[in-house]
Amino acid sequence: MNILQRYIFRRVVVLSIASFVAVLIVVWVTQILSRIDFAIVTGASLAAFFRAVVLMTPALVGMILPISIVIGMVQVLNTMNADSEMPVISSAGMSRMMVAKPILVTSAIASILVLLSSHFVEPQSLRGLRNALVSMRTDLVSNFLREGTFTKLDENLTIYIDRNLPGNVLSGIMVSDTRDPATELIYYAQTGVVTEIDGNDVVVMTNGQIHRENVKDGSVSVIRFNSYAISLSQFGSTATTASYYPPMEHDTIELLNPDPESYYAKKTPDWLRTEFHRRMTDWLHPILYGLIALVVAGQTRSHRQNSFNTFFLAVGATLLYKGAAYAAYGVARHDSGLAWTLYAIPLGGIVLSAGMYLNGITVAAPDWIGRVATELFEAVRRFRIRHARARTT
């Protein structure tokens, strides 16, 4: 790349990274707020809680990074137009590839990062996240249950203890388990103890009953026991054995050659195949979004043209393609014969966008959108002025 292209490339990379960090922080905050109740209830340490938040980050790369580079690219191209740099480049007789090359190089780097993340980093981080959450729930049962309080471990799993005695001894135990839609289970026990059997943490309950209700016909059966053990691993949302890891947490090799005895290979083999095709196509989206930025904002424009329109079109097109890809993935999960749509959507968009840019075809939002946005911003400005004047009087 020459000096001009390095200049564009550096600005795009800096703004894309800044946009990525800003969006990531917003996502982190929303995830923390959505899980803060669980952290408080479980009594998990801040280190364990933030470790779980960090482990979910690689799964967000494929979603956040492409949108971030679109924001960075459009911002740079808009600024170059506003500073008359684009008109100068055009007047000097430079080709469109002079501007397109640094944009496409940035997209290619993002594609490589998404490819590596989706195949190697994301499955391991999601698996680590699941194990961390199950470990937090296990710590909850063994150490952090509060006396006289109904503690919700999961959406349909609640545990109550009357007293927590020294030596991990529990008194007055009640467990309500409605995770199985066909059967509701309630365990009662006078006492219990948290111990380890064959390397597994278990709660051994003594002198109790199991009330089993069939949801379909309402029949109830009662089983009395002198001693009954429940593994703490079942208090996780999903078992942590490899055969029960969902397809998103499988390594790519496991997707190609799944264990025929595993749960998902038996129940949803189409999902396994579709997950492999998703990983093989996600890397195409950054390239597509880079071309969208070029089509929308990569042409010379007059100062009077509203840069808001380019953001509206670029982000709108990005969300449209990404939404179509998610919809195709959801359908193909149940019928892997439709997995070809995961390839058709980004490849079709790449061909269309590349053809439009090379032929100088531009896309602009209707003028009324710009007028509405301008009027809205002006109304907000007038409201703030009136509000400020009212406070000073």
What pLDDT is attached to residue 305?
52
Neighbours of 390 (CB within 10 A): 8
pLDDT in tens, 157-195: 788 888 877 766 888 988 888 877 788 989 999 988 877
DSSP character at residue 241: S
For 246, the token pair is 């969902």
What pLDDT is attached to residue 236?
47
User: What is the DSSP secondary-structure string of 7-68?
Assistant: HHHHHHHHHHHHHHHHHHHHHHHHHHHHHHHHHHHHT--HHHHHHHHHHTHHHHHHHHHHHH
In sequence order, the 6+-apart residues with CB closer than 8 A to the CB of 27 are 60, 64
DSSP character at residue 302: -
pLDDT in tens, 304-318: 455 667 888 888 899
What pLDDT is attached to residue 280?
94
Are the C-beta atoms of 294 and 69 separated by less than 8 Å? no
What is the length of the chain? 393
What pLDDT is attached to residue 332?
93
What pLDDT is attached to residue 369?
64
What single-letter amino acid sits at 170?
A: L
pLDDT in tens, 287-305: 999 999 998 888 776 554 5
What pLDDT is attached to residue 239?
45
Q: What residues in the chain have per-residue pLDDT under 50?
A: 43, 236-240, 304
pLDDT in tens, 229-267: 876 555 544 444 555 678 888 889 988 888 888 878 888
What pLDDT is attached to residue 237?
44
What pLDDT is attached to residue 38?
54
Are the C-beta atoms of 283 and 290 separated by less than 8 Å? no
Alpha-carbon distance of 37 to 392, in angstroms, equals: 41
Give this prediction's pTM: 0.70
In the three-class reduction of DSSP (H, G, I as helix; E, B as strand; rest coil), residue 392 is classed as helix
Domain locations along the chain: 3-135+244-362, 146-235
DSSP character at residue 257: S
